């Protein structure tokens, strides 16, 4: 990997972190409505994963989608404007936090019903199989989604039809406030893939390079025509499930312990220890990200709301 | 004009569209090797192959989810739900995904998909396999809901649905498959969202669709013997609902009976009656009557089942009520 590529991973993770920090503030100021699910703590998962994809590879995820959107190439201002319901948002203010997508960047959302996007991911992969494209559909979901029927229908279908789909479970230990142990009959979630004969692996989701490496192997497997693959990524969200989560279900010591494994901190140390970048270089990069994000906040704040004519637009494609 | 069955009409529409466009394909339970539980896709598997006539597991959410996903990337899937009662297992994907993705992502997502679903009662299949929940699906903006009553409309509307870039729920009535009717030769289509006067008359407007077109027509034949000329407006599409022919007819007859197979409460009749009152109140000469299914889960016993379903006599009684 070139130095630039190493730094780009760092840049993306810091960008996600700062966008989320700003989103939290904007939410507290009442400038963002509805739900807000932050990706803080999980940055290495989608950054590593999506860095391994080719342009023809599709990405689809659940409602904790800001980081995924940024990794897919959606700008900070398009994300923040959408969170603020602005016409310049990536979904023109009609989707909100949970519904970011950019088809041109092969990012297919942002889906808010737990597990419901897994059958849709199977369909995206079916489209590629049918049209004999060599794209892989990368479908991300949380540990909580593995307990709903859609998960099992989709995994089964993907193996029966040998669909080119990579199932990625972001196991952040909790489905809302219910721990994996309390919600799932098996706590090693990847074992569920065994039930469908789908090869699987797991990886430390706090280390962006490990995620990237595992993702590359998994994507290669799927692209080679062997059918679906299942990757469990072990991670942790540092913030609540959504804003206003009282977090009664976990101890602050537990959160602190995971925060010592901050994916950005781990990677920063790695870059310095390996002599890939200096402290000063990374500080400069931090400052650049901060500037980008502050400008994005200003630009999104200043941009107009959708006009009333937007209300009836796009109900149907035809009339 | 050829005289063919509803089953043949639907089958022809599918066949012709699959021949025309390689992106059109079928998926569903028993659509392939079996040939379709209602034999609509008989012969398709051998002709088009397993890739284009895809047998699925019994997993409705996966079927409709895969339908949505493959439509998003440019295919034109036609999913078959063995019965519309199984659509409840895919409810989330129909109403939360198919009906909303285009809007929620500001037009980025396009969903050229069709869900064919077999509905209706009258075959002694019991309460869970005999429902007419059309109005439920018509409730959701973003979805188009089509329910033809004649072979001509079935073929023309299905072709339009397959060529449409919007998600269409295409409801076929299980007891209409054997019904015969004239169908134009060659390629033709019928626009979605247009009601049609199927029988002209001057005395009363009967608004109906799907199977109840048959019941209403039989009632109109009998009424004609008494000198009562009923005009029958066939809605054909429930969403978007075309009220123009209904209002035009009502302004002429000043009386209306709405006949649907589903339950009366919160149904198609409620909606159509409200719109007539809203749009043509000054023309009302009698309270609008609704004929619908009795408010019970449909029983298995043949006599009880028929008691619950709207009959020709119910329509005649309602017409005489408004005259």
| Mean per-residue pLDDT, B17-42 | 97
Which ranges of A60-174 would DSSP assign to H, the alpha helix?
66-71, 76-83, 117-130, 149-160
Full residue range of the structural domain in which residue B302 is found: 196-322
Give the model confidence (pLDDT) of A26-80 as tens digits.
999 999 999 999 999 999 999 999 999 999 999 999 999 999 999 999 999 999 9
d(CA A49, CA A214): 8
The active-site residue, picked from B93, B102, B129, B173, is B129
Q: Is B241 on the interface with A (CB under 8 A)?
A: no
| Mean per-residue pLDDT, A190-205 | 98
Place of tokens 């789909």: A165
The minimum CA-CA distance between B68 and chain A, rounded to whole Å, is 6
Of A109, A130, A156, the CB nearest to B75: A130
Average pLDDT over all residues of chain B: 98
Question: DSSP letters along B128-183, please?
Answer: GG----HHHHHTSTT-EEE--SSHHHHHHHHHHHHH-SS-EEEEEETTTTT-EEEE
Indicate if B176 and B309 belong to the same structural domain: no
- The yes-or-no answer on residue B139 being catalytic is no
Q: Is B239 on the interface with A (CB under 8 A)?
A: no
Residues of A214-242 as b/e, b for ≥16 C-beta within 10 angstroms?
Answer: bbeebbebbbeeebbbbbbbbbbbbbbbb
DSSP 8-state assignment for residue A223: I
Q: Which of B126, B174, B132 is nearest to B298 (CA)?
A: B126
Question: Residue A319: is its pLDDT beyond 90?
Answer: no
Q: How many domains does chain A have?
A: 1
- Predicted-complex ipTM score: 0.96
Question: DSSP letters along A277-303, please?
Answer: S-HHHHHHHHHHHHHHHHHHHHHHHHS
Q: Write the CB contacts of A310 (distance below 8 Å, at least 6 apart in sequence).
A: A87, A92, A93, A94
Query: What interhelical angle do A43-51 and A3-28 show, nearest 10?
Result: 140
Instruction: Confirm whether B47 is domain-assigned.
Output: yes
Give the model confidence (pLDDT) of B267-319 as tens digits.
999 999 999 999 999 999 999 999 999 999 999 999 999 999 999 999 999 99
d(CA B52, CA B54): 6
Give the model confidence (pLDDT) of B72-112 as tens digits.
999 999 999 999 999 999 999 999 999 999 999 999 999 99
Instruction: Confirm whether A81 is domain-assigned.
Output: yes
Q: How many domains does chain B have?
A: 2
Nearest Cα residue in chain B from A124: B69
Interface test with A, best of B65, B146, B162, B193 (most A CBs within 10 A): B65
d(CA B237, CA A313): 21
- A260 pLDDT band (50/70/90 cuts)? very high
Of A127-131, A152-156, A315-319, the least confident? A315-319
Token readout for A245 is: 């989560």
Residues of A in contact with B57 (CB under 8 A): 153, 156-157, 160
Instruction: Confirm whether B191 is domain-assigned.
Output: no
Question: How many beta-carbon pairs under 8 angstroms link A with B?
Answer: 142
d(CA A119, CA A57): 17
* Helix/strand/coil for A243: coil
The minimum CA-CA distance between A1 and chain B, rounded to whole Å, is 32
Nearest Cα residue in chain A from B193: A319
Q: Which residues of A touch B (CB under 8 A)?
A: 58, 91-92, 94-95, 99, 101-103, 108-111, 113, 116-128, 130-131, 149-150, 153-154, 156-157, 160-161, 313-319
pLDDT for A244: 85
Asked whether the whole model's pTM tops 0.90, one would answer yes
How far from each other are the two terminal CA atoms of chain A, in whole angstroms?
Answer: 50
pLDDT for A29: 97
pLDDT for B1: 86
Instruction: Confirm whether B189 is domain-assigned.
Output: no
Q: Determine whether the interchain pair A153/B59 forms a contact, defined as Cβ–Cβ distance below 8 Å.
A: yes
Residues of B in contact with A99 (CB under 8 A): 104-105
Average pLDDT over all residues of chain A: 97
The domain boundary, picked from B183, B208, B233, lies at B183
The minimum CA-CA distance between A94 and chain B, rounded to whole Å, is 5
Question: Residue A20: is its pLDDT beyond 90?
Answer: yes
- A248 pLDDT band (50/70/90 cuts)? very high
Residues of B in contact with A319 (CB under 8 A): 193, 240
- The yes-or-no answer on residue B60 being catalytic is yes
pLDDT for B162: 98
Report percent pLDDT > 70 for chain A: 100
The enclosing domain of B46 has a CATH number of 3.40.50.970
Give the model confidence (pLDDT) of A208-225 as tens digits.
999 999 999 999 999 999
Of B66, B96, B165, the CB nearest to A126: B66
The enclosing domain of B292 has a CATH number of 3.40.50.920
Indicate if B33 and B154 belong to the same structural domain: yes
Question: Residue B39: is its pLDDT beyond 80?
Answer: yes
Full residue range of the structural domain in which residue A222 is found: 3-303
DSSP 8-state assignment for residue A225: I
Helix %, strand %, coil % for chain B, to 5? 40, 20, 40
| Mean per-residue pLDDT, A144-153 | 98
Q: Write the CB contacts of A74 (distance below 8 Å, at least 6 apart in sequence).
A: A90, A100, A102, A105, A107
How many helical (H) and strand (E) elements, i.e. helices and strands, does chain A have?
12, 8
d(CA A116, CA A62): 9
Indicate if B61 and B127 belong to the same structural domain: yes
Instruction: Confirm whether B190 is domain-assigned.
Output: no
The enclosing domain of A196 has a CATH number of 3.40.50.970
Of B51, B106, B144, the CB nearest to A95: B106
What is the Cα gyration radius of chain B? Answer: 19
Of A92, A156, A317, the CB nearest to B59: A156
The minimum CA-CA distance between A110 and chain B, rounded to whole Å, is 9
d(CA A88, CA A76): 12
Instruction: Confirm whether B156 is domain-assigned.
Output: yes
8 Å CB contact between B216 and B258: no
Q: Determine whether the interchain pair B108/A102 forms a contact, defined as Cβ–Cβ distance below 8 Å.
A: yes
d(CA A24, CA A158): 37
Instruction: Confirm whether A141 is domain-assigned.
Output: yes
Instruction: Confirm whether A311 is domain-assigned.
Output: no
Q: Determine whether the interchain pair A157/B56 forms a contact, defined as Cβ–Cβ distance below 8 Å.
A: yes
Indicate if B144 and B236 belong to the same structural domain: no
Q: Is B49 on the interface with A (CB under 8 A)?
A: no
Q: Determine whether the interchain pair B141/A121 forms a contact, defined as Cβ–Cβ distance below 8 Å.
A: no
């Amino acid at each position: 990997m070139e130095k630039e590529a190493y730094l780009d991973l760092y840049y993306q993770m810091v960008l996600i972190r700062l966008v989320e920090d700003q989103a939290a503030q904007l939410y507290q100021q009442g400038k963002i409505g509805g739900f807000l699910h932050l990706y803080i703590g999980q940055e290495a998962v989608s950054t590593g994963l999506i860095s391994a994809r080719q342009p023809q590879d599709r990405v689809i995820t659940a409602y904790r989608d800001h980081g995924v959107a940024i990794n897919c190439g959606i700008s900070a201002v398009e994300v923040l404007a959408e969170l603020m319901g602005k016409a310049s948002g990536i979904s023109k203010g009609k989707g909100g936090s949970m519904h970011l997508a950019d088809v041109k960047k092969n990012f297919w959302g942002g889906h808010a019903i737990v597990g419901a996007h897994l059958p849709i991911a199977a369909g995206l992969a079916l489209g590629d199989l049918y049209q004999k494209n060599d794209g892989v559909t990368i479908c991300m979901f949380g540990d909580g989604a593995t307990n709903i029927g859609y998960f099992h229908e989709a995994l089964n279908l993907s193996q029966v039809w040998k669909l080119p789909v990579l199932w990625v479970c972001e196991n952040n230990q909790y489905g809302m406030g219910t721990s994996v142990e309390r919600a799932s009959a098996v706590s090693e979630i990847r074992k569920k893939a065994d039930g469908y004969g789908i090869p699987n692996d797991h990886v430390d989701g706090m280390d962006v390079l490990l995620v990237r490496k595992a993702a590359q192997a998994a994507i290669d497997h799927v692209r080679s025509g062997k059918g679906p693959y299942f990757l469990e990524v072990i991670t942790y969200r540092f913030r609540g499930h959504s804003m206003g989560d009282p977090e009664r279900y976990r101890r602050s010591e537990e959160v602190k312990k995971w925060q010592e494994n901050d994916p950005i901190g781990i990677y920063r140390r790695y870059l310095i220890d390996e002599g890939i970048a200096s402290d000063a270089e990374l500080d400069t990069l931090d400052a650049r990200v901060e500037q980008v994000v502050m400008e994005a906040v200003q630009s999104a704040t200043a941009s107009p709301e959708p006009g009333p004519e937007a209300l009836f637009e796009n109900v149907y494609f035809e009339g | 004009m050829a005289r063919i069955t509803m089953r043949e009409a639907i089958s022809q529409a599918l066949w012709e569209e699959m021949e025309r466009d390689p992106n059109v394909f079928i998926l569903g339970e028993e659509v392939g090797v079996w040939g379709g539980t209602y034999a609509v896709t008989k012969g398709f598997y051998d002709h088009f192959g397993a890739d284009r006539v895809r047998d699925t597991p019994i997993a409705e959410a996966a079927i409709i989810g895969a339908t949505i996903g493959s439509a998003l990337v440019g295919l034109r899937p036609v999913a078959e739900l063995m019965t519309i009662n199984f659509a409840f297992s895919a409810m989330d994907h129909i109403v939360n995904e198919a009906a909303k993705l285009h809007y929620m992502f500001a037009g980025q997502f396009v969903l050229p998909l069709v869900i064919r679903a077999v509905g209706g009662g009258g075959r002694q299949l019991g309460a869970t396999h005999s429902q007419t929940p059309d109005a439920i699906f018509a409730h959701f903006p973003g979805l188009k809901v089509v329910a033809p009553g004649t072979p001509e409309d079935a073929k023309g509307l299905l072709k339009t649905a397959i060529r449409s870039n919007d998600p269409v729920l295409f409801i076929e009535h299980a007891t209409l498959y054997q019904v015969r009717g004239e169908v134009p030769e060659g390629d033709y289509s019928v626009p979605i969202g247009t009601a049609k006067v199927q029988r002209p008359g001057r005395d009363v407007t009967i608004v109906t669709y799907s199977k109840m077109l048959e019941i209403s027509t039989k009632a109109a034949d009998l009424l004609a013997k008494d000198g009562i000329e009923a005009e029958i407006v066939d809605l054909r599409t429930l969403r978007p609902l075309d009220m123009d022919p209904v209002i035009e007819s009502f302004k002429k007859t000043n009386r209306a009976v709405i006949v649907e197979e589903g339950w009366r409460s919160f149904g198609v009749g409620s909606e159509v009656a409200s719109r007539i009152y809203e749009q043509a109140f000054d023309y009302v000469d009698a309270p609008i009557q609704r004929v619908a299914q009795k408010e019970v889960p449909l029983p298995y016993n043949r006599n009880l089942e028929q008691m619950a379903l709207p009959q020709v006599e119910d329509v005649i009684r309602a017409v005489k009520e408004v005259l």
